[in-house]
Chain A
Amino acid sequence: MSILHWAIFSPFILAILVPLLYKRVGRIHTGWFVLVLPVLLFIYFFQFISVTSMGDSIRENVSWIPTLDIGIDFYIDGLGLLFALLITGIGSLVILYSIFYLSKEKEKLNQFYVYLLLFMGAMLGIVLSDNLIVLYMFWEFTSLSSFLLIGYWNEREKSRNGAQKSMLITVFGGLSMLGGFVMLGLMGGTFSIRALIAESGSWTSHSLFIPAMLLILLGAFTKSAQFPFHIWLPDAMEAPTPVSAYLHSATMVKAGIYLVARLSPIFAQIELWFWIVSIAGLLTLCWGSFFAVKQTDLKGILAFSTVSQLGLIMSLLGLGAAALHYDGLDDQLYMAATVAAVFHLINHATFKGSLFMAAGIIDHETGTRDIRKLGGLMTYLPVTFTITVIGAFSMAGLPPFNGFLSKEMFFTSMVNVVNLNIFDMETWGYLFPAAAWIASIFTFIYSMILLFKTFTGKAQLDKLEKEPHEAPIGMLISPIVLAALVITFGLFPNILSTTLIEPAVSSIQPAADHLHVHISFWHGFGTEVWMTIGVIVLGILLYLSLSRWNSIYHIVPERFSLNALYDSILKMVNNGSGFIAKAVMKGSIRSYLIYIFAFFILMMAFSLYHKGAFRMNTENTAPIGVYEIILALVMIIGSISILFAKSRLTSIIILGAVGYTVALFFVIFRAPDLALTQLVIETISVALFLLCFYHLPKLASRKEERMTFKLNNAVISIGVGLVVALVALSAQSQKFFAPISSFYLENAYKEAGGKNVVNVILVDFRGLDTMFEIAVLGIAALGIFAMIKLRLTRGNK
C-alpha cells in the first residue's frame, strides 16, 4: 500500500468514522471534519502536476486477486490527475457549501457525509484505476452512492423515484460496460488499461472488438446522461443541491466522459467510434439545450443544460478521434477538438458548480426554485446575482469568461469537420457545425432565462415562502471561488494549458507528443467569431420573443416524451412479467406436471433421434415362457383397468393385485428377498390407501365417477410410456461393459461371510446406502407423527 492507495481509500476510511464523529461531537457540524480530507487530497494531488506536466506518470500496484489478473493498480497521468483535481477541488467546495446548506438540527448529516465520502472515494478510484475490473468496482460504487444521495430525503416520493430511475439506468449501463471490459480482457489477455493501450493495434479486427466498444459506450453514455439515457439526470435533481452540484454537474456524469477519453487510444482506431461518439454527443447537445428552455425549475434548467454540455464534450471527444484517421502530418486540426473537450470539461465543472450553488442559495433564501414565482431578486441577493451572471454568461459562451473560449474552440472543431474528405463531407458535414450552432443559440436562451427571469423584473414577494435576503457568507464562499476561477480561466487560459490540458490530451491522444496548446483569447475574424455573433444576436431576439414561440414545446404532448417511454417500458416489463408468470405459473400441479413430462418427452425423443441412439437387439434376451406372458397380461389388464375403474375402492384393489403380480415376477426372476419385501409393502400400502379413502371428505359435490378423458393428458402419458420403453430397449440392446455382479457372486462368502448375496450387498458391500435409507424411513415416520400430532389450530399460530 503506497501513499496513493491510502489517499484513494481515505474517503472510505473517513466514511466509517463519520457516524462516530456525528454521535460524539454533536455540537460541531460534521461537515467541518469531512472538509479536511478533500482539501488535503487536493493539495496532495496538486503536487503531481509537476510530474505529469513533464509527461511522466506514476504507477502504484497492490495485488488483490493475482490469479485473476486483478490488482488494485493506480495510475496517475494527465487525464487521471485532471479528474482527481476536479473531484477533490470541487468536493472541498461542495462540502464547505453543504455545511451551510444543510441544517445541523434537521438533517441526517451522518448519512449525508457517509454517502458523499463513499462517492468521492469511488470517483477517485474510477479516474485513477489502471485495472478495468477495479474501475468497474468503483464505477458501481458511484452508482450506489449516487442512488443513496439522490434518495437522501427518502420520505419524499419524488426522491425515491428519481433514485430508482438513476439506479436502473446507470446500473444497466454499468453491467453492459462490465461485459465490454471482459471482452477487452479476453482480447488483450490483461485487464490493465495501460497494457491494453500499448498493444491495442493488433486486434482491431477481432470479432469481439466492436461488441466490446458498443457495450463500453453504452456504459459511458448512460453514466454521462447521453441521449436517450439522459432522462435520469433531470429526475436526480430531487437530491440536495450540494449533491446536484457535485455529482450531477462536475463529477459523476463526467465518469462516462472520462471512460470515453481513457479508452480513446484503443477504440478510436476504427472509424465507427468517431461516428458514434460524435453523433451521440451532438444529438445530446441539441436535445438537452432545446428542452432546457422549456423548464421552469432552476435545477431542471441546469440539469438539461448539463446534459447538453456533456453532449458537447462527448462530440468533441468523438471529433478528436478523427485525428487518428484524417489529420495531415502537421496540421493538428482534429487534435484541437480534444484540447477543446478537455478545456470545456474544466470550464463546465467550474461554471456549472457555481450555478448549481447559486440555485441552491436562491432555493434556500426564497423557498422556491420555480422561475415563474421568482423575479427581481437582484437587489435582494446581489452577490448571488453576480455569481449567476458570471456563470450564466460563461455557459452561454460570452467573453470574457472561460465558456467563451471553449465555445470558440468547439466551433473551430466543428467547422473543421467540413474539411473531412469522407462520405461527401463537404455537403453532409455542414450538419455538424449547423447542429452545434443551433444548440448554442438555445444554450444562450436558457442561460438568459436562468439569469433574467430570476433576478430582473418585478419581485413577487407575496408568492415566496420567505422574505428573500442574502445568504450567509459561508454559503457564498464556494460559488465565489468557482466564479473567480471562471474569470481567471477566461482571462488567463494558458495557466491551464501546460499544467493540465497538455498532459490530459496526451493521455487521450498518445500520438500527440509534440503538442503545444496555446489558447489565444482573440484569433482574428474567423468563421467561428461570426458564428458567435450570430448566436448572440439570434439568441437575444429569440429570448425577447420567447412567449410567442414557446408554444412549440406543447406540439408534442407529454405522453410521447422519453420519460413517458421509460415509464411505459417499466410498466410493460412489470405487467409483462406478471402476465407471463400468471400464464405459466397457474398454481395447479397438473399444468406443472404437463410441463415436466412434455419437456421430458421432447428432450429424450430429440436426443434419441438426433444421436441415432435407438437400437433393437434381441441376441442376448432370454426365451419368454407362457406363464410370463399370462402374468404380463394380468399386469397390463390390471393397470389399464385402474384407469377406467368407476370407484376408487376398485382402483385400490386392482392396484393391490398389480402389486402382488409384481411380487410374482420377482419370484419368477429369482429374487426372493425382493418378492418378500414387495408383498409386505404392497399390503401395507393398500391398507394406507384404504385409510386415505376412508378419510375423504363426504362432500355432496364429490361423486364417485370415472376419470374424465383429456386428449393432451392421454397424448403425454402415451408419449412418456413410449419414450421410456424406447430408452429401455435401446439401453438393453447395447451393453458396453460386463456387469460387476460376478464380483459379488464370487466374493460374497469369501470376503463377507454370507451366502445371501443380496443381503451381503445391502449391509456389507454397499452398507452406506442402507444406512441412509433407514434414515429416510426414520424421517418419514417422524414426519408423519409430527404432521398428525403437531396440528396448530388456527387461533394458535
Chain B
Amino acid sequence: MFDLILKIALIAISLATLCLVYRLVKGPSMQDRIIALDTIGINLIAIVALTSIVLDTYAFLEAILLLGILAFIGTIAFAKFLEKGEIIERERDL
C-alpha cells in the first residue's frame, strides 16, 4: 500500500515536472521560465526525497539540502540578471 502511494506520488510529481518543462519551453516571458526552473528545483527536492524513501537510504539527504540552496541561488542569480543585467557587480569605487 505504502509502495503504491509512493509510486503514485512520484509519478504525480514527475508529471508536474513535465508540465513545468512545458512552461519552461513555452513560457512567453523570461520570468515565467525562471519560475518554472525554480519550481522544477523544488519538485526535484520532492522527487529525491521520495526516491530515498523508495530506495531506503540516507545517502541523498545532502542532495536535498543542496538542491534547496542551489534552487534559491539560481533563481536569485537569474532574477538579478533580469533586473540589473549582471550577476556579480563590480565594486566601481576601487
Contact = CB atoms under 8 A, between A and B. Distances in A.
Interface string A625-665: 11100110110011001000101011001101100100110
Contacts of A650: 25, 30, 33
B22 to A, nearest CB: 8
Interface stretch (A178-186, A462-470, A678-686): A678-686
Contacts of B57: 670
Contact of B63 (A631, A676, A691): A676
A634 B85 contact: no
Contact of B74 (A638, A654, A656, A668): A656
B15 A653 contact: no
Contact of B21 (A637, A649, A676): A637
Nearest to A656: B37
A667 B60 contact: yes
B53 interface: no
B17 A679 contact: no
Contacts of B37: 653, 656-657
Interface in A314-329: none
A672 B44 contact: no
A654 to B, nearest CB: 6
A656 B77 CA distance: 13
A694 interface: yes
A638 B21 contact: yes
Given A637-B21, A653-B37, A667 B85 contact: no
A641 B21 CA distance: 10
Contacts of B67: 679
Q: Residue among A627, A645, A650, A660 with the most chain B CB within 10 A?
A: A627
B21 A634 contact: yes
A679 B70 contact: yes
Nearest to A682: B70
Q: Residue among A630, A631, A663 with the most chain B CB within 10 A?
A: A630
B14 A631 contact: yes
Chain B interface SS verdict (over half) = helix
A667 B48 CA distance: 7
Chain A interface SS verdict (over half) = helix
B33 A664 contact: no
Contacts, number: 105
Nearest to B57: A670
Contacts of A654: 24-25, 33
Interface residues of B, number: 41
B74 A683 contact: yes
Contacts of A679: 63, 66-67, 70
A630 B14 contact: yes
Contacts of A694: 81, 85-87
A660 B60 contact: no
A675 interface: yes
A627 B41 CA distance: 16
Contacts of B24: 638, 653-654, 657
Interface string B1-44: 00000010011011101100110110000100110110011001
A687 interface: yes
Contact of B55 (A641, A670, A675): A670
B78 A675 contact: no
Given A634-B18, A637-B21, A653-B34, A676 B11 contact: no
Given A633-B18, A672-B59, A691 B66 contact: no
B87 to A, nearest CB: 6
A635 to B, nearest CB: 9
A388 B36 CA distance: 103
Contacts of A637: 18, 21-22, 25
B93 interface: no
Contact of A641 (B25, B34, B63, B86): B25
B70 A680 contact: yes
A679 B67 CA distance: 7
Contacts of B7: 625-627
A707 interface: no
Interface of B: 7, 10-11, 13-15, 17-18, 21-22, 24-25, 30, 33-34, 36-37, 40-41, 44, 47-48, 51-52, 55, 57, 59-60, 62-63, 66-67, 70, 73-74, 77-78, 81, 85-87
12 contacts: A626-B14, A630-B15, A631-B14, A638-B24, A641-B25, A653-B24, A654-B33, A657-B24, A664-B44, A683-B74, A686-B74, A687-B77
Given A667-B63, A690-B87, 12 more contacts: A627-B11, A630-B11, A630-B17, A634-B21, A637-B25, A638-B25, A647-B30, A657-B21, A676-B62, A680-B66, A686-B74, A694-B85
Closest 9 CB pairs of A and B: A630-B14, A672-B59, A641-B25, A627-B14, A627-B10, A683-B70, A653-B33, A675-B63, A667-B48
